[in-house]
Chain A
Amino acid sequence: MGFLRRYLRNPGAAIGLVLLLLVLAMAGSADLLYPRDPLALAGRPLQWPFQNARFLLGTDASGRDIAAQIFHGARISLLIGFVATIVAIALGIIVGAVAGYYGGLIDDLLMRVTEAFQTVPSFLLLLVLVAVFGSSIVTVTLAIGIVSWPAPARLARAEFLTLRNREFVQACRTLGLRDSAIIFREILPNAMPPLIVYASVVMALAILLESALAFLNLSDPNVASWGNLIGHGRGVLRTQWYVSAIPGVAILLTVLAVSLVGQGLNDALNPRLKPR
């Protein structure tokens, strides 16, 4: 268990892991603690936190329990972050691996496409996708994944470019292995560490992107997401600021947790880069 010990030696990474586990626990216990629909009317609207024991974090402008929305929202945020990251990393790996392994014309072509995606601001592209395909939770998640793939693709390409000329890859070619086997079974495992680390950045960004969409009322209104709650609070921001602030803090802590875990993974996966 050398890896876990290396990871936990870093205090920031340990804090990040604890925070992330906390968010996961919230997501897991949401149905037990708040079995009712979090979007249903629960009580008098706009109660401040800690005033009513029934609504520990108060209620929003529509009289819905903020604590219930935070707990259920943890699920949505994590789910969106997770799925969108997998979509983005998988797309990135496929494009980057093919471009990096084959090089030449294929590389030029794929990289120009990647650059085309990168030059368009990703949020703008996200708005277009959501406007065209609608804003159900599935399309929003996929759209976030689709706008996030270029950076992982470039990273995967860079890894493949250096690894494809290594002797062990050449050895596989002389053995007569198929290209697909070389790419996915020989090179990819060696290219994974930086991609895993980068996945944490993608996940943090995905959570933020969903919140931003929700803030503009463009995310799925039928799920209890943190972004939706912030969006609801916008109208009463000057008087009942806590409606937006509480989910805001939740997002902040989650993104911080994911980033810290990513940083910790980076240090643990590349122990030599860190001074002893």
Chain B
Amino acid sequence: MSAASEPLLRIERLSVRLPKGADRAHAVRALELEAHANEILCIVGESGSGKSMAANAIMRLLPPGVRVESGRILFEGRDLLSVSEAEMREIRGGRIAMVFQEPMTALNPLRTIGDQIGEMFRIHTRLGRREIEARVLALLEEVRIPDPAASARAYPHELSGGQRQRAMIAMALALEPRVLIADEPTTALDVTTQAQILALIRDLQRRNGMAVLFITHDFGVVAEIADRVAVMQNGELVEEGPVRELLEAPRHPYTRQLLAAVPSLVPPAPKPVADAPALTVKDLTKVFRTGGFLGRGVRVTRALDRVSLSLPKGATLGIVGESGSGKSTMARCIVRLLDPDEGTIRIGDVDVTAMSKRELRAERRRVQMVFQDPFASLNPRRRAGDLVAQGPIAHGTPRKEALAKARELFALVGLDPASVDRYPHEFSGGQRQRIGLARALALEPEILVADEPVSALDVSVQAQVLQLLADLKSRLGLSMLFVTHDLRVAAQICDLVAVMHDGRVVETGPAATVFTEPRHEYTRALIDAIPGRRWSERIAAGEVSPAALAEVAPSEPRRRGIP
């Protein structure tokens, strides 16, 4: 940290105006920030806080209709807001580089990685072909991509997500920029990959002495990587300070509220679970075959490989794992969106794998699902009440009765019963997830399968929805299968945890045991990779006085109806 030095980049009273008809007038209002060399500044905030808009304003890459209203962005003695477009092109990529969230869409799928990195040199320098090739190779080595020469010749789809993000970082670093803006660069990655990329960014920043502006919504990531932190809310800076100070003694109530909403890594004391199983899965196998022609060149993926699990009555079983581990396939097999190839699924005493389509339709109501994406999982052209009522109607409940019940369910999940006539787009993300929950509960299921139900939500909303899930589960006597990639969430809500890897369950046991004494190597790797683990452990151990955090229980700004 070198706070005393002259800032590399200074944002002075920046205001960014949103087009008419947006939910507020300014995306960013009167923002003051400084980025110093040799420092990682994290900008944290929930969705809609204006953190990405601020970054885009620096690069002068604002979406159409959005414009800078006032303020200055000083960089190397110039105001970036007033330089010519030609000068700006020199600065972009050359002096200030950017890394995006989704490396697959940020790379051109039709050109090789080496070609795309080399383009930086072709545009901004007069180097020869040989020289460019050598530089590209050196860069790929620097970002520690496995087999740099082969990666340079590879197309984006041939690399894994983490490797693609490394390639993006190599591209950003090509011209040795002074400032690197990273907009949620690890959000789309698995935890273990995320840990590697964070270490890489940290390491490169130290070696090159760059200023890094790291935009994230995740306080775990902040604890891992930041030197200084700026917290934004509704386009305004609410608090700024050195990372330790901010995480351990936050001053602003909003920061405290955000920090309190981060789920702890220490599981609560284990509750006794029943012996009788609500759901038993035995030797479940699902194989996907893709591509191929006339039986040749078929790619076979064993998404589930003889998986056995048991969910006791009234308990919550967490299925955790990284992408591609088969956890979602498992959930989809259990609700029979997919047909398993082998194995049995028993609900109570009934084997549902042997049922005919007709029998299954009646049986479906016993197992209901809550989906991940609160936007995609509700039909945009139907009213919220109809969405909740449609299940009972399909199973023979008269329409009027089903709609009356939908209103009761709305109240149960904390929504205004009067809002049954609204369309899904009139609700916020958290409210939509509540509608999804009401829809699943409408059929009075015994088992709830929740597939990443909170991963698309902001932390504070996430805390509320998790609370609601746990609350309803115990009130209605449900058993729950909770699929998640987020170990913090799993630690808080699950009684039992099954860790999946490559289509197999590698470890299963009570949450408290799995998190504190992991036996399998992979489980240990996963837990080690959780961002901000040491910070959480310090809080849990009482080394940090979290008095400030404890004071503010996650307040519930329960928004009723349209905001």
Contacts and interface: CB of A to CB of B under 8 A. Distances in A.
A176 B363 CA distance: 8
A113 B365 CA distance: 38
A30 B381 CA distance: 40
B377 interface: yes
A173 B364 CA distance: 9
Given A177-B394, A178-B394, A275-B64, A171 B364 contact: no
A51 interface: no
Interface stretch (B53-61, B197-205, B368-376, B466-474): B368-376
Contacts of B382: 186
B373 A174 contact: no
A175 interface: yes
Nearest to A181: B394
Which of the listed residues B64, B381, B395 has the most CB atoms from chain A within 10 Å of its own CB?
A: B381
B340 interface: no
A172 B337 CA distance: 10
Given A167-B371, A167-B372, A170-B337, A175 B443 contact: yes
A177 B369 CA distance: 14
A166 B379 CA distance: 9
B379 A186 contact: yes
A168 interface: yes
B249 to A, nearest CB: 42
A175 B390 contact: yes
A168 B378 contact: yes
A161 B82 CA distance: 48
Which label, helix, strand, loop or mixed, suits the secondary structure of the A interface? helix
Nearest to B381: A189
A171 B395 contact: no
A276 interface: yes
Nearest to B332: A170
B391 A175 contact: yes
B429 interface: no
B380 interface: yes
A85 to B, nearest CB: 23
A151 B17 CA distance: 44
A276 B65 contact: yes
Which label, helix, strand, loop or mixed, suits the secondary structure of the B interface? loop
Contacts of A174: 335-337, 364, 367-369
A136 interface: no
B452 to A, nearest CB: 11
Contact of A176 (B371, B373, B395, B436): B395
A175 B382 CA distance: 15
A52 interface: no
B373 A167 contact: yes
Nearest to B362: A176
A29 interface: no
Contact of A190 (B64, B336, B364, B380): B380
B439 interface: yes
Given A276-B64, A276-B65, A172 B390 contact: yes
B361 interface: yes
A170 B371 contact: yes
Given A166-B376, A190-B381, A171 B64 contact: no
A190 B379 contact: yes
Contact of B377 (A167, A190, A275): A167
Interface string B271-302: 00000000000000000000000000000000
A171 B379 CA distance: 9
Nearest to B372: A167
Which of the listed residues B337, B379, B394 has the most CB atoms from chain A within 10 Å of its own CB?
A: B379
Contacts of A176: 361-362, 364-365, 391, 394-395, 443
A178 B394 CA distance: 8
A112 B379 CA distance: 31
Contacts of B390: 172, 175, 177
B376 A167 contact: yes
A212 B377 CA distance: 48
Nearest to A163: B379
Contacts of B379: 168, 172, 186, 189-190
B364 A175 contact: yes
Interface string A164-204: 00111011111111100100001001100000000000000
B443 A173 contact: no
Contacts of A175: 364-365, 368, 390-391, 394, 439, 443
Contacts of B361: 176, 178
Contacts of A170: 332, 337, 369, 371, 377
A166 B443 CA distance: 21
A172 B394 CA distance: 10
Contacts of B369: 170-171, 174
Interface in B60-81: 64-65
B461 to A, nearest CB: 18
Given A174-B335, A176-B364, A276-B64, A168 B394 contact: no
A208 to B, nearest CB: 33
Contacts of A172: 379, 390
Interface string A247-276: 000000000000000000000000000011
A181 B393 CA distance: 11
A182 B443 CA distance: 18
Nearest to B395: A176
A186 B382 CA distance: 8
Contacts of B381: 189-190
A39 to B, nearest CB: 47
A175 B388 CA distance: 10
B451 to A, nearest CB: 9
Nearest to B449: A174
A168 B376 contact: yes
A181 B332 CA distance: 21
Which of the listed residues B64, B362, B376 has the most CB atoms from chain A within 10 Å of its own CB?
A: B376
Interface string B424-455: 00000000000010010001000000000000
A189 B386 CA distance: 15
Contacts of A189: 379, 381
Contacts of A186: 379, 382
Given A171-B439, A178-B394, 8 more contacts: A168-B376, A170-B337, A170-B377, A171-B377, A175-B365, A175-B390, A178-B361, A189-B379
21 contacts: A167-B372, A167-B377, A168-B376, A168-B379, A170-B332, A170-B337, A171-B436, A173-B337, A174-B335, A174-B368, A175-B391, A175-B394, A175-B443, A176-B362, A176-B395, A177-B391, A177-B394, A190-B379, A190-B380, A190-B381, A276-B65
Interface of B: 64-65, 332, 335-337, 361-362, 364-365, 367-369, 371-373, 376-382, 390-391, 394-395, 436, 439, 443
Q: Which 4 pairs show the lowest CB-CB distances between chains A and B?
A: A167-B377, A175-B391, A176-B364, A167-B376
